[in-house]
Structure 1
Amino acid sequence: MTVDTEHGAHRASAPAPRRAGVRPAERALAPDLARGIMLLLIVLSNTAFHLWRSEYGPSGWQPVTGGWLDHTVQFTMITVLDLRVYPLFAFLFGYGMMQLFLRQTAAGTSERGAVRILRRRGLLLIVIGLAHATLLMAGDIVGYYGLLSLALGWLFLRRSERALKWWIAIGAAQVVLVSAQPVVSALLQGELGSLGDAGADPGAEAYGAGEGSWFAAAGTRLATGLFVTFTAAPFSLIGGGYVIFLLGFWAARRRVLEEPGRHLPLLRRTAVIGIAVGWLGALPAALAHVGALDVPDDVQSESGALTVLREVTGYGAGLGYVAVVALFAHGWGGRAARKNAQATVAVSAVTAISALGKRSLSGYLAHSLLFAPLLAAWGLGIGAHLTSATMALFAGGVWLATVAGAYALERRGRRGPVEVVLRWLMYR
């Protein structure tokens, strides 16, 4: 209470408004459903790094061993998932950041106060990510996004929509120029085949899954986690990788996922063009991997021309996947309204996957709790006996287990355990 000395009256001084997260009534289907499906794509895309006794191809990402079914899985992974899940995750992460910012400011929190909450969240994500990388999963991306959120939240959250559009254009140009520069230089010198290094260590080695000692593996994982968080993340800012986050900012301002019915032409174009570009861009690498296309190993390597092409076109695929989910959510909403949301198997499945999307951080970390101790050499070592196909089945089972767990929490009205801790630390 403060005292008005002039009038002798008491009046309450209003504290800065603050709210702790999104209320259930404010949730839209598309963002949660997209996050739930994204976790399936993530767990599948991470499978190759746990096949620690396999022989890897020139890119270091996918094994080349196995029968025709394994090669089919590898072909599909390269075309549909590898370097395609990152932009999907980045878009949804940026979308969620802007949603949180807009909810806070709409509730009366100052813009600076909302940015402070997001800054605290980013710092917490870095801590969670590095702990996750050290203990279980070297390729953690939570810390990566936490660091990027610090920079992007400070630079772009409070900018106008017009400024966002300009920076999206600048970022897209950076991506194209940075990616094309080494390829163009090699072409001008007539040495495209020498671009890349097929002799580099396979990327799977950085995950430490083949280490017999947990402590040795933890050292490898920590080094990889530090590189991903504090080297790869800043480099993505220089290379224009932030553009996908800004697209998420812009889309959240327009409520594209909450109100997909208002944006159907945009979503349809994005789905068709984005997925077509993404899959066609990865097709040469997939064909080369299974031996259907004769390409020098250096060109297929992690820094080779085919990988560069896959990475650039992956942005289109990631956005296309988001658009497909939004279109499905729009159609599903009409169907549910017509059928009065009857308790069918399909309704339960959509509800369960969306429940996982609401608890995406808990689900993501749960993958590693189920993967690492069972698959790594320092654990039960099952990864030594699996192939690309059987590993994909295992990953699907892990995802279904997290869906079931999230659905059980949803029915009890409880948040994910990691979300509970994160929100408590964010909002105190």
Structure 2
Amino acid sequence: MSRTPRTSIPAPRGPVSSGERALAPDLARGAMLLLIALANVPWFLYGSTQGTTTMHPVEGSGLDRAVQAVMIVAVDGRIYPLFAFLFGYGIVQLYRRQREAGADDGAARRLLRRRHLWMIAFGFLHAALLWVGDVVSAYGLAGLVLVALFFRRRDRTLIVWAAVITGLLALTAVVSLISLPFVPTDMAAEETFGAEFYGMGVAVSAESNYVTSVLMRAAGWPVTLLTQAFVNVVVPVMILLALWAARRGILENPGAHLPLLRRTAVIGLGVAFGGGIPHALYHVGALQVGDHVSWIFGSVEMLTNVFGGLGYVALFTLIAYRIQNRPVASSLPVVAVAAVGKRSLSNYLGQSVLLAPVLTAWGLGLGATIGSAAAAGLAIATWAVLAALAYLWERRQYRGPAETLLRRLVYR
């Protein structure tokens, strides 16, 4: 009696190799991490009084004020959507590689689910130990939910949902603008915006006992997790759009999508910067708007952040397309930036490892004495140190400690 041959189940395909990677996503991630360092560092300046509409200090030298204005226009709130888009794009890339290697749909989706669960765990440790504003766990949670709900949906469904959510953001901004004349003039700005939220961020950085600071960050992590994953609806919008874009290989094959990328870069960054300029002028005192209506800047910027994230994605992709077949693509600066992008998790966590002990009260306490310009310089220096390390790792073909650990846990 013959036996039925046993069907072997393909093992999960390993992580992508360097030779398989497209330049655009890695270049975008590398540049994004510099902007993330700049966006995060104001949260450590506990020796200053923060504004009621932004985490930036309300005082400083002329250079400090200029730095604050540039950050509000071009960086604050624009970078996390870019991060979310690249994360969502990577979901499709990972799934596609598994399927092409012979894994069935269930096995590939289980791998995604395992990766997102481990991201939540990584993010919790990062938040508890070092950085209250961790986004790794938020993107892991958003990926876990959105893959379950939308991964098998048609392209049209992805676009419709992204458009509906963006439309609600636009409606909120319009209603807010229309309601401005009816806001009581005796209402303080602190009652209408996130002064308490910013104060909590300062309080964590100002805590001199490290163990107490860990407990504070861990206690606030669930709220931060849900807020960044879903209350800030920009993240789901960007992930849905990324799923749509990845199905078309827009970042891997930008030459076939140049008109779309150019329009997105011009319109996206134009809307984002235009929406941020009034807020920057208000913060530095050049625009006289009643404090009782200052909350409008948050409402408008929530919408413009969508455009800013897409604009930056398109801009970095166009840059990568222009240089990818030229000698400059193998130059040290480009290789270093792309090396940072390949090791985005290690570099993101590494920023906290370097910045938190220097700036917080439980460390050297530098955040109590420096201004915005010095803090921005420190953020740039931190990114440069990590970029140099990433370049050395690239030369030695080492993935990075966080990537190595995560992949061992995910791929087993």
C-alpha separation in 2, matches of 1:187 and 1:34 = 38
Q: Which position in structure 1 is the counterpart of 2:155?
A: 161
Paired position in structure 2 for 1:218: 214
Check conservation: 1:30, 1:257, Cα contact below 8 A: yes
- The DSSP-based 3-state class of the residue aligned with 2:196 is coil
Which residue in the other structure is 2:29 paired with?
A: 35
Evaluate the alpha carbon distance shift between residue 193 and residue 286 of structure 1 in structure 2; reply closer, same or farther with a 3 A threshold. farther
Could you tell me which of 243, 256, 267 is aligned with 1:262?
A: 256
The answer to whether residue 352 in structure 2 is matched with residue 368 in structure 1 is: yes
Tell me how far 1:37 sits from its aligned partner: 0.5
2:299 alignment counterpart? 308
Give the conservation status (yes or no) of the 8 Å contact 2:126–2:349.
Answer: yes
Letter paired with 1:253: R
Instruction: Write the mapping of 1:142-221 to structure 2, written as runs, cut at 5 A.
Output: 142-184=136-178, 186-187=179-180, 189=182, 191=184, 194=187, 197=192, 200-201=195-196, 203=198, 205-206=200-201, 208-221=204-217
CA distance in 2, matches of 1:400, 1:286: 27
Query: Is 1:228 equivalent to 2:224 in the alignment?
Result: yes
CA contact (8 A) 1:373 1:380 kept: yes
1:8-407 map, 5 Å: 8=2, 11-184=5-178, 186-187=179-180, 189=182, 191=184, 194=187, 197=192, 200-201=195-196, 203=198, 205-206=200-201, 208-236=204-232, 239=233, 241-300=235-294, 304-336=295-327, 347-407=331-391
| Residues in 1 aligned to 2:173 and 2:75: alpha-carbon distance in whole angstroms | 20
Mapped contact 1:179–1:308 kept (Cα < 8 A):
yes
The secondary structure found in structure 1 opposite 2:206 is: coil
Q: Structure 1 residues 188 and 151, CA, compared in 2 at 3 Å: closer, same or farther?
A: farther
Deviation at 1:163, TM superposition (A): 2.4
Q: Alignment partner of 2:9: what SS?
A: coil
Shift of 1:269: 0.3
Single out whichever of 31-40 and 162-171 deviates more from structure 2. Answer: 162-171
Residue in structure 1 matched with residue 407 of structure 2 by the alignment: 423
2:35 counterpart letter in structure 1: L
Deviation at 1:11, TM superposition (A): 3.8
Shift of 1:187: 4.1
Q: Distance in 2 between matches of 1:37 and 1:104?
A: 28
How big is the shift at 1:174? 3.1
Give, in whole Å, the separation in 2 of the partners of 1:199 and 1:99.
37
Judging changes above 3 Å, is the alpha-carbon distance between structure 1 residues 313 and 375 closer, same or farther for their aligned structure 2 residues? same
Check the 8 A contact 2:89/2:246 in 1, yes or no: yes
CA separation of 1:204 and 1:261: change in aligned 2, threshold 3 A? farther
Alignment partners' CA distance in 2, 1:199 and 1:221: 18
- SS at 1:396 equivalent: helix
Question: 1:176, CA displacement in angstroms?
Answer: 2.5
Aligned positions, number: 409
d(CA) in 2 for partners of 1:297, 1:306:
11
Give, as a single letter, the amino acid of the residue that structure 1 aligns with 2:60.
Answer: G
Q: Helix, strand or coil for the counterpart of 1:201?
A: helix
Contact 1:134/1:219 (CA < 8 Å) preserved in 2?
yes
Moved over 6 A (4+): none
Instruction: Identify the range of structure 1 (259-268 vs 13-22) with the bigger mean alpha-carbon deviation.
Output: 13-22
Alignment RMSD (CA, Å): 2.1
| SS of the residue 1:46 aligns to | helix
Report the TM-score when normalising by structure 2: 0.94
Q: What is the Cα deviation at residue 383 of structure 1?
A: 1.4
Tell me if the contact between 2:50 and 2:198 (Cα under 8 Å) persists in the aligned partners.
no
Distance 1:334 1:276 in 2: 29
Checking the alignment, whether the CA contact within 8 Å between 1:206 and 1:221 is kept in structure 2 is no
Q: Tell me: CA distance 1:180–1:129, structure 2 relative to 1, closer, same or farther (3 Å).
A: farther
In structure 1, the residue corresponding to 2:195 is in which secondary structure?
coil
Q: Are the equivalent residues in 2 in contact too, given 1:48–1:204 (CA < 8 A)?
A: no
CA positional deviation for 1:189: 3.9
1:268-303 Cα distance to aligned partner (Å, 9 max, x none): 000111001000001110000111001122433xxx
Q: Aligned letter for 1:54?
A: S
The CA deviation at 1:12 is 5.0
Alignment identity in percent? Answer: 44
- Shifted more, 70-79 versus 156-165: the winner is 156-165
Deviations 1:213-268 (A, max 9, x none): 112211221233221113442324xx464111111111111111111111100000
Code of the aligned partner of 2:268:
G
In structure 1, what residue type is equivalent to 2:335? T
Please tell me the residue identity of whatever aligns with 2:107: G
**Residues 84 and 311, structure 1, Cα contact 8 Å, conserved in 2:** no
Q: Secondary structure of the residue that 2:64 maps to in structure 1?
A: helix
1:152 counterpart letter in structure 2? L
Q: Residues 169-197 of structure 1, C-alpha deviation per residue, up to 9 Å, x if partnerless?
A: 2232233234545554x347455995862
Q: For CA contacts below 8 A with separation 6 or more, give which structure has more relative contact order.
A: 2
Residues in 2 aligned to 1:364 and 1:375: alpha-carbon distance in whole angstroms = 17
Return closer, same or farther for 1:192/1:278 CA change in 2, 3 Å cut-off. farther
Quick one: structure 1 residues 267 and 231, their matched pair in 2 at CA, closer, same or farther if it must change by over 3 Å? closer
**What do the CA deviations read for 1:49-108 (whole angstroms, capped 9, x no partner)?**
111101112214110121100000000010001111111111111111111111112222
- Amino acid of the structure 1 residue aligned with 2:284: V
